[in-house]
Amino acid sequence: MSFSSLQASGSTLKNLQQALDVAAHNIANVSTTAYKAKRVNFEAVTTIGVETNFSGADINSISTNFQQGRNQPTNEVTDLAIQGNGFFTVQNADGNIVFTRDGHFTIDAMSDLVTADGSYVLSAGGGKINIPIQATALEINSFGEIRAQLPSSEQMVLVDQVQLATFINPQGLESIGSNFYQESVNSGVPEFSTALAQGTSTASTAIRSGFLEGSNADLSSTFVDLMAYQRSYQAVSRAVTTANDILETTLNI
Amino acid sequence: MPIPSLFTGAGALTTQQNAINVISNNIANVNTTAFKSSRIYFVEETSNMSRPASSPTGTIAGTNPFEIGTGMKLGDISTSFTPGPLKNTGTATDLALSGSGSSFFVVSSETDDDSTAITAPQYTRDGHFMIDSDEHLCNANGDKVMGAMLYDNQTGKIRSLSGYSAVTFFADQEIGNVLPTNGTSSGLPIPTPDIVNKTGAVPVFNSSVLAELSVRGNLVQSGVGVDVALKGDLIVSKDADKKMIFTFDNGNAGTDASKFRCTLNTEQQILDNVLSFNMTNASGDVVQLRIRFEPGVTSIEDVFKNIEYDKISESSDTMIFKAGDAQSSDNITVGDKDFEYMSVPDLRKLMSPIKIPNFFYTQDPNLEVETTNFKIEANGSISAFGPLSEEIKLGRILVANFINPDGLLNKGGNKYEESSNSGIAGISVVGGPFDKNAPSISAVKIVSGALEQSNVNLANEFAELIGFQRGLQANSRVIATSDEILQTLINL
């Protein structure tokens, strides 16, 4: 018996607290557009020496579940949901290209397609998407092609097409808040394409206009996690008090 | 030592509370005239990164970033401008805008009858209007409704149209019977009211800037004579580079010799209100085209800024200024033009409070009759009727359109004001030519005797309310759990 069990329990408590933070984050985001739930993966910490010691649980990774969220109707043409893999590419106020699956877009005073925080949604050509101001109606099809009804023609006119980006390892993306992700050294470089484009990694990805992707955080399983972490926390804290009692007993011999 | 999950839960709790506030505002306004429901959107909070991603090195595989989120925050509250259903009221002054949800009536409490420009305009879709003791059309709050008034209540006459760049706007057939024909107020040619272009749209020509069109030429090569005034049509079109081309056709039946061309560029100067430039024909003859403009026009842009050429298809982009008699200034007509994209940037100058007078003069200037009835048509045109069904067109209601109505500031009282992100109000008549700053409004119609109802969908609102309530409960549970964990920690 040594102080190691006390130390192991202490670091496990810290890790459980972080796991609880992740669960709280998932619960907070059950209504967030296109939120992707996070999962904490624990690993047993073992010290191999003269004898093998198991010294608590460590977090080896926090992974993101990129499963499709349920698409919820909004009836706004410029609300887009990605059905399948991929991200919208947007250019933020700093001029950086970032990625999002949150397709709640609007049209700003310059008639550009923008996100709620004023970032420009990029087109297949990599530029801003400008909607003709005379457009009486808009339509966005499953290819992400934006068509506008102009008074000068009877048929809808193709204006632009929304760009999509995919990554070899989306888990490697950094979440920078406000539903945006940015490329990291381990995500791989973005591959740009468009929805349903044959021969690309988004060949089976469709855009749905009038829908927004819901959060994929599942309240019930997250709550189970929350309770499990809480009970584990209590159990480990019990281990701490027990170890403490033993130490005390030892010291009193 | 508070733990992050406590704040994650608390932040989310506040935002869920805001969401419930938005929903309760929607529900509270389920019976509010022309109310537009709002919708709240959440976004993820920034994450704490305790380890950044590392890239694969060949021997060691890359690792993903290690991030712990800190909850969620308010992403956007946007207003849905879908039109609400109409409800009949039977009152003629109750107006509803049907078709598009993003057109607005323009109201102002500060603009008087003799104001030269509209001040403090506000925009509303609530068309519950009435006529006050000053004969103004106004809303329940006393704000005057704006329109373009042709009938001058003081003089009983049709207003002088000089100074308005969009006068021909009103030269449509239905209003034509009250326009002076070949009017020459301040020497300004007013198009004759019977001008209607081929497509039946209202002809528009910026006649306030044009005072004279004359062509003088030295047609030695063609043997026509020396320095003669020519008769013919001036045709403005564009070439492949969207440059304006002027073609003067003196009518020698399609021969190339009759066609004089020049490409106008914006560097050409207007001196003493006269723009003159040389045009040549296939035979090498040169004629000088002189266009004299009203004072104040100093550049080519001033003249042609009202004409949007980019958007016009090749086949319909020809505008002809017909000069029946090149030396006369009072017979300029406009035709053969698809005017849909003609912009009318000075339409604001036409705006004044709409008045429905108790008495009006008929076409006989000595006969004043009492207004017994009036009507407001789908295109916003207002007419008054006398006891013997004498009719006078008073003017038209103008509407405002925004590129981004979501960007408007909600001022309460069902009114909105322009913001830096709404775009400038594009003022138009219903179904008329469009301001180039405005989205198209061809789909809009004014319905008299009806009011637009709220576009709140109660079923959706309740579903959302339940969702937010559960979210609030879940987050309060997170707070409780975090608290218990702290308790456990303290009891160690």
- Rounded to 5°, the CA angle B132-B136-B142 comes to 60
pLDDT tens-digit profile of B4-53?
Answer: 888 899 999 999 999 999 999 999 999 999 999 999 999 999 888 878 88
* DSSP at A170: G
The amino acid at residue A216 is N
Residue whose structure tokens are 């890359």 = B62
pLDDT tens-digit profile of B196-248?
Answer: 222 333 233 333 334 344 444 444 444 444 444 454 555 555 555 545 556 66
pLDDT value for B293? 58
**pLDDT of B126 over the 90 cut:** yes
Q: Report the chain B residue with the minimal C-alpha distance to residue A113.
A: B404
CB–CB of B4 and A172 under 8 A? Answer: no
Residues 276-305 on B with a CB inside 8 Å of A are: none
CB–CB of B440 and A102 under 8 A? Answer: no
Q: Report the chain A residue with the minimal C-alpha distance to residue B60.
A: A186
pLDDT value for B434? 43
SS (H, E, C) A184-206: CCCCCCCEEECCCCCCCCCCCCE
Rg over CA atoms, chain A:
25
Q: Report the chain A residue with the minimal C-alpha distance to residue B338.
A: A152
**pLDDT of B486 over the 80 cut:** yes
CB–CB of B66 and A61 under 8 A? Answer: yes
Site from A134, A226, A241 to mutate, B interface, most B CB atoms within 10 angstroms:
A134
% of chain B residues with pLDDT over 90: 26
Pairing of strands B381-385, B373-376: antiparallel
The shares of helix, strand and coil residues in chain B, as percent rounded to the nearest 5, are 20, 35, 45
How high is the ipTM of this complex?
A: 0.80
Mean per-residue pLDDT, A75-95: 93
CA–CA gap between residue A86 and residue A173 (Å, rounded): 12
CA distance A77 to chain B (A): 11
CA distance B236 to chain A (A): 19
CB–CB of B72 and A32 under 8 A? Answer: yes
Contact B47/A at CB under 8 A: yes
pLDDT value for B101? 81
- Across the interface, of A27, A76, A234, the residue whose CB is closest to B474 is A27
CA distances from B408 to A76, B102, B103, B107 (A): 18, 11, 12, 15
CB–CB of A152 and B341 under 8 A? Answer: yes
Calculated CA dihedral for residues A220, A225, A227, A233, nearest 10 degrees: -170
Contact B85/A at CB under 8 A: no
Q: Higher confidence at residue B255 or residue A104? A: A104
pLDDT tens-digit profile of B295-310?
Answer: 555 655 555 443 333 3
- CA A128 vs. chain centroid, Å, equals 24
pLDDT value for B361? 76
Contacts of B44 in chain A (CB under 8 A): 29, 32, 35, 175, 177-179
Q: Count chain A–chain B contacts defined by CB atoms under 8 A.
A: 242
Residues 188-247 on B with a CB inside 8 Å of A are: none
Q: Higher confidence at residue B260 or residue B358? A: B358
CB–CB of A17 and B3 under 8 A? Answer: yes
CB–CB of A186 and B5 under 8 A? Answer: no
Contact B39/A at CB under 8 A: yes
Contact B419, B411 (CB under 8 A): no
Residue whose structure tokens are 């999950």 = B5
CA–CA gap between residue A141 and residue B168 (Å, rounded): 41
Residues 124-183 on B with a CB inside 8 Å of A are: none
CA–CA gap between residue B287 and residue B250 (Å, rounded): 11
CB–CB of A116 and B75 under 8 A? Answer: yes
pLDDT value for B378? 85
Answer positive or negative: Cα dihedral of B297, B300, B301, B307: positive
Contact A131, A139 (CB under 8 A): no
Q: Report the chain B residue with the minimal C-alpha distance to residue A22.
A: B68
**pLDDT of A15 over the 60 cut:** yes
pTM of the complete model: 0.69
CB–CB of B62 and A169 under 8 A? Answer: yes
CB–CB of B481 and A237 under 8 A? Answer: no
Any idea which of A90-104, B118-132, B231-245, B388-402 has the lowest mean pLDDT?
Answer: B231-245
pLDDT value for A189? 93
Residues 403-422 on B with a CB inside 8 Å of A are: 403-404, 406-407, 420-422
CB–CB of A174 and B468 under 8 A? Answer: no
